[in-house]
Structure 1
Amino acid sequence: MGLRVDPTYRQRRFGVEVRRLREAAGLTVSEAAQVLGMRQPHVSNVEAGRTSLSAERLQKLAQALSGTYTYPVDALLALGRESGKGWWSDYHATLGANHLDLAELEAGAVALHSYELLLVPGLLQTFEYATAVHSSGFSPAVNDVRETAVEFRMQRQRVLTGDQPPRLHAIIHEAALRVLYGGRAVMRDQLLRLIEASRLPNVTIQVISLEDEGRSAFSHPFMLIEPDVVELGTVLIDQLGKAQYLDDRQSVAEYGQSFARLSELALPPVDADAVPEARTAKDSLGLIQHILYPLL
């Protein structure tokens, strides 16, 4: 099998985790090659995500660990097996790695924790809203593939209603709900879409109110993507259309704590089926409806 020229994020992540496993075992690349019965360049290519590693060899590497250190070897094996394959592969020739890597991560997640300041999360956008957002892009390259990018975003949303869908917990700042991307009618339908999406059993939506004094918003949007094993989680930070992935244990833990604090600051989740008289305090649904009524 030839070496991968352009490995996906998950393939690169597999290599990173193999390196972490090797380092936890206290082995140099040369020593790991001897343990695994491989040449040193092969080990280096594995750690760069350019090729994979068999289950037998991965188990050999794990056996070199000390008894006080545990590692999710089975989850790492699954990561290596599943990387790079899926419906998103059809878009490889037209969209960049940012799009494909995100769809692949979402497909392998059990939970998605999304925080947005100025946009509705992509997994909850209507077609018209997504089109308006992409039309506002500053990069000519974005305009060249606008229709394909919007189509791709709509395809991504199927993860929420497929077999064994991930849990989506979205926290949206009120500011994002007041920016009229596409005009009043588009934003009205988008707000209605949020209420509709909240009825899915795996979707939780909260709003942070502008009126909450002393409750400043987090400085930038992010999404915490959690697979079956927490240690293999990833934080996605999207700035000016460029994705940054953080996968070290400390960053994942810190962003998880930040999301938990944001959830405490936000209004209670949207409950579209709650009768008005049952609501005794300000909540996310009430705020969305307050913004929605002038648009009707």
Structure 2
Amino acid sequence: MGLRANPTYRQRRFGAELRRLREQADLSAQDAASLLGMRQPQLSSIESGRTGLSAERVQLLARTVGSISRTYVDALIDMGQRSGKGWWSEYRHVLGAAHLDLAELEDAAHVVSTYEPMFVPGLLQTREYAAAIHRGGYRQATEAEQLAAVDFRVQRQVVLTGERPPRTHAIIHEAALSGSLGEREVMRGQLLHLIEVSRLPHVTIQVLPFDGPVAFGTGFVMIEPQAPELSTVIVSHIEQSLYLDGADTMAKYRGWFASLAEVALPPVDAEASPQPHATKDSLGLIQRLLYPLL
């Protein structure tokens, strides 16, 4: 089998994790290659994500580390053995690799934590809202590309109602909910959708109000699979989002997210009494923003 020309994020991450294991075991590339019964150039291709490694060899490398989580090793083997195919595959020749990488990460997610200062998170967007965002976005795209991107964003949301939905916690700044995008009906439908999706037992939505502490300026999403060591944080950027990992990085973003959750309004409770809530909780704030759009 030939080497991959353009490894996916999952494939690159698999290789990077193997390199971490080798370094934890204090093995040089040459020593690790000898241990695994291969030449050093082959190991280099594995660590760069350009080819895979069998489950037996992953286990052999893990054993040289000593004390290591069995859950992590099993998850790493699963990461390396996955085909990478799913509903997102049909968009392979239409959208960029980052779209496919995100969908594949979400498909294996156990926990999704997202903070958005300017937009409703993609997993919570209505089709109409997503279409308005793409029509008014800064990136130039054909109508066909825009339609595909909207369809893709809506299709991503099946993860919330699937057999193994991830625990999803979204913190949204009030700024993201205050604009009409030039279409009052679109924003009305989006606000109502947020209230409705909050009824899912595994979904938590909080709003960070204007009159709260200084907002964290950059949106990000943390995607955590069953083995937390394989978690990823994606930091939004207008040109290309950053995919970050590693224990120290994840600890920083978990801490920042926990701080945001602490200062945001209490979560939306769609079952709460319908009387006015002022702005003392997230539902009350959404209701206040919704009222002029009714």
Fold agreement, TM-score > 0.5: yes
Shift of 1:139: 2.1
Alpha carbons of 1:197 and 1:6: their partners in 2 closer, same or farther (altered >3 Å)?
Answer: same
Aligned to 2:220: 222
Alpha carbons of 1:117 and 1:240: their partners in 2 closer, same or farther (altered >3 Å)?
Answer: same
- 2: distance between equivalents of 1:239 and 1:63? 39
Segments of 5+ residues of structure 2 without an aligned counterpart are none
CA deviation digits over 1:217-261, x for unaligned, max 9? 112100011000111110001110411100121111100011011
- 2: distance between equivalents of 1:82 and 1:70? 20
- 2: distance between equivalents of 1:211 and 1:149? 34
Pairing partner for 2:263 from 255, 262, 265: 265
- 2: distance between equivalents of 1:130 and 1:221? 17
- 2: distance between equivalents of 1:154 and 1:183? 19
Alpha carbons of 1:237 and 1:281: their partners in 2 closer, same or farther (altered >3 Å)?
Answer: closer
Segments of 5+ residues of structure 1 without an aligned counterpart are none
> What does 1:120-159 align with in structure 2 at a 5 Å threshold?
120-141=120-141, 145-159=145-159
Pairing partner for 2:233 from 215, 235, 240: 235
C-alpha contact (below 8 Å) 1:128/1:182 kept by paired residues: no
- One-letter amino acid matched to 1:145: E
Q: Normalising by the residue count of structure 2, what TM-score does the alignment of the two structures yield?
A: 0.95
- 1: distance between equivalents of 2:182 and 2:195? 19
Aligned length: 293
Aligned to 2:175: 175
| Identical columns (%) | 57
Structure 1 stretches of 4+ with a deviation exceeding 6 A read 277-281
- 1: distance between equivalents of 2:37 and 2:273? 66
C-alpha contact (below 8 Å) 2:278/2:284 kept by paired residues: no
**RMSD between aligned alpha carbons?**
1.7
C-alpha contact (below 8 Å) 2:278/2:288 kept by paired residues: no
- 1: distance between equivalents of 2:17 and 2:197? 35
Shift of 1:60: 1.1
Q: Normalising by the residue count of structure 1, what TM-score does the alignment of the two structures yield?
A: 0.95
Alpha carbons of 1:142 and 1:202: their partners in 2 closer, same or farther (altered >3 Å)?
Answer: farther
Shift of 1:27: 0.8
